[in-house]
Chains A and B, each alone.
Chain A
Amino acid sequence: MTATRHGRRPPVSWLAVRPEGLLVVPAGVFVDPLRAVDRALVTHGHADHARPGSAHVGATEETLAIMRARYGAAAGGRLEPFAWGETRSLGGVDITFRPAGHVLGSAQIVLEHAGTRVVVTGDYKRTADPTCRGFEPVACDVLVTEATFGLPVFRHPPPAAEVAKLLDSLRLFPERAHAVGVYALGKCQRLIALLRAAGYDRPIYLHGALVALCELYEAWGVSLGPLLPASAAAKADLAGAIVLAPPSALADRWARRLPDPVVAAASGWMRVRQRARQRGVELPLVISDHADWPELLATVEDTDPAEVWVTHGREDALVHAVRQTGRAARALALVGFEDEPE
């Protein structure tokens, strides 16, 4: 591996950054590669992490199901499921999948070789989420972490309080549709689950792009309550109803079917007002599936690595903060992971 941008060689010589992504050298396998490769390990089903077309794809059962639902036969050549906690050896590297708490099936990948343990978190969060397995901290020598919300301004409030804002707006504006922009995988189902937990039992209307993954979640035992397609509903039925759609649809002609909509968005970015305003959001809900700043720092403490590598996001602030704890830290500057939507 070449020298890092900080001019030091990493203590782990069996991981390398290549144009395709992070390579586990002895195993010949990439973690979340940017394009189709011979062997891929995939942390979770979001499109910027799970690309189609690799010859061998190792991932959790749930993630493989999501990839199959999205890509069909193009998902990959051989799909090789890993059970939670099961360890397999490849080229002398022990590989184990542990829950990351991001979305259904999302995993951290634990890599052990030559007496060193590396944990690649993938995207993760520490807040409880009824739609997926919770994050399990794994002690390690090198923590390879995301930093989507790697600035101290990002502290996600309790999600129940954000959902209460949505329900309060429904009370104030019972004649208006409440249209929430959500990502199809994860945020959509989590928001539904949060609404159900808050006692909201009326049907929730879905944009067509969200239906398939909600059905998949149901099939995996995540119960979401009554859901109806928004496209089949009469305009009058949508008054005072909650409608979920991809953010792009809400800013587009699709939204014209909605009666005087309150445009809401559920995202960690909503914490910064200007971001919310730019997106024309009337009701910002700070609900994120990524670790916020305190969770990023807590995870470093909990896993106690000698060194932290930051894959993507706002790396500089996190690298600075980790170094202040006496650990080595550097930015891998992996490209290709999306900043937005979450």
Chain B
Amino acid sequence: MGAHRTGLFLAVLLGAQLARAGEASFIDLPLEDLGKLEVAAVSRKAQKLADTPAAVTVLSAEDIRRSGARSIPEALREVPGVNVAQIGTSRWAVGVRGAQGRFANKLLVQVDGRSIYNPLFSGVFWEAQDIMIEDVERIEVVRGPGASLWGANAVNGVINVVTRKASATRGGLASVSADSQGGVTTAVRQGVGLEGVGAMRVFAKGRDLGRSETADGDRASDKAGGWLAGFRLDGEGGWMVQGNAYRHTSKELLPVSIALAPNGSFPVSFVFEGSNLLARRQWAMAGGDATLQAYVDHTDAWLNAQGNGKTDIVDVDFQHTLAPMGRHDLMWGLGARYGRVDFDSNSPAFTFQDQLVEYRIASAFVQDEISLVPQSLMLTLGSRFEHSTLADFETQPTVRLMWTPTKDDSLWLNWSRAARTPSIGEINANVVLGAQPLPQPPFPQGSFAVLRSLPAPGLRPRAERVDALELGYRRTLPNGSFEAVLFHHDYRRLISPTAGPLDYLSSAPLLVQPVFRSYFSNARTTGLELAADMAITATLRVQGSYTVLDTQARHYADPVADASGMALAAAAPHHWASLHGLWSPGGGHELDLMLRRVGAVGGGVPAYTSVDVRYGWHLGRAFDLAVVGQNLFDNRHLEYASDFFVSQLSYQPRRAYIQGLWRF
């Protein structure tokens, strides 16, 4: 069917539906009946975004539930500008505005204000993160730099996962789901009210996930599973304490050169164990609001028996929003963090120059929202000043101008600068990347060069930097919203490899080819993000998103540096789109149809289209049933080929799962 015919058909359909949508009056219903009324279309939280001069998407609990997502990365698949690729069973590559990859290092991710960005490898180990998805209240996705507020590493975006207050999760909940690959996930939660104190919930979750497939349709060696347990206590008077403990394992197979392993592959098992405790208090201060938050976080990661990295973080954050003064709305804050990373390896393939690294970060931020023309023109000036012992002093400013000509339209223009601090791995790690056969003359037969990645001699750690420009338009409609954002990011001092001289001192037939890491390369990205959400009839809602992205890396004379730049440019698709139809015919039935199209990615990942369907049924207040089919019209597809840690390719098969949820 051609595009024109579909368009025409849709327009006719919409017209007919609109004409039919007669308005029933709910105004006169008595109080008793209002609470029984089923909401046909729960609106997106677009309202509170209308005043935000940034590209922000908020996924509500309802959006997450209707997407059928069982993990945070899955829930992000329909957000414009966000590219999500499943690497394996519990491994994900999540990138915002490009720079995607398993170790996508320019995206800050926080859960209830606690950073889950790993300082050892600069990025998020999604396989080490699990959450009680039923208790997530919303996920806020800020595209573009958020560094002026959130600090370093919020270069391309910030993802804030916010869980419900304990007072909103009273009662018990049990959820069981089973997938077609044989994986079973169970979760239980109990919420209680504490007289005179507040409310509390405790929860536990165990998961065993269905494996991916190999290119031939065999089961891939990427078994993953684990458990999570925790609590959240919300007190009367504005304080909160929460804690989590977890253990997750994830296996994968590394295809390595025959020169290094006899059967050409090396099984790797990651184990992540951790616990964290966070406390927050909010109070009135000088006519405004103050928040003080502190947390401790411990993670212990093992790579087989060979490597073990222990990370401890202590973080304190203070924020004060002042009472409005004339045209000014002022906010300021202070932050301090101490981190300690202890890395221990008994494999020569992976070593650290300094086994124990301690670092400290001190930061301050200030932001002023100035109403130039009341209700119409607003200027935001802000900056974060940050000193890290891993990098230099960084100023991360932003200037944002927003024009709201009408109540329903907003137009904004931003300029921001953000920094990514070098990770401890980048400064310290000495890693074998692989081996390459050497040409027979001049080398003896069977000679190999072992590629070793290490910091360049005399490396001065410096933060990567981005300058970002953004032009956005948002329109709020009575029955939906529309958003279009144009952006241009200019990156400098990106970490990049160069080839060092072949080390003839190492013994033949294995010679060492060093690959030096330093901060020098430049790149640019330009793109457009479109999103729309609208209620077409009382029972049908459609959400769509489309992103087009172009990445250009600068060319270098050094072949390794040039190849690295080209790989970066091809690491994200040029375009991707999603369309989600939500139909709620009543009687507690729900039907969702989700279409996604993702363009090809470098490294041999072809473009793919996936079709997912979800059917949900509320059987009264006590029981919900959901049946989800994913990737329905495709035997299997590949979403990702590794950029650095090259593991066996995992193909995502056709999958189904069924979930039962009880409330008691």
Q: Do A and B come from one complex?
A: no
Q: B: which residues have CB within 8 A of A?
A: none
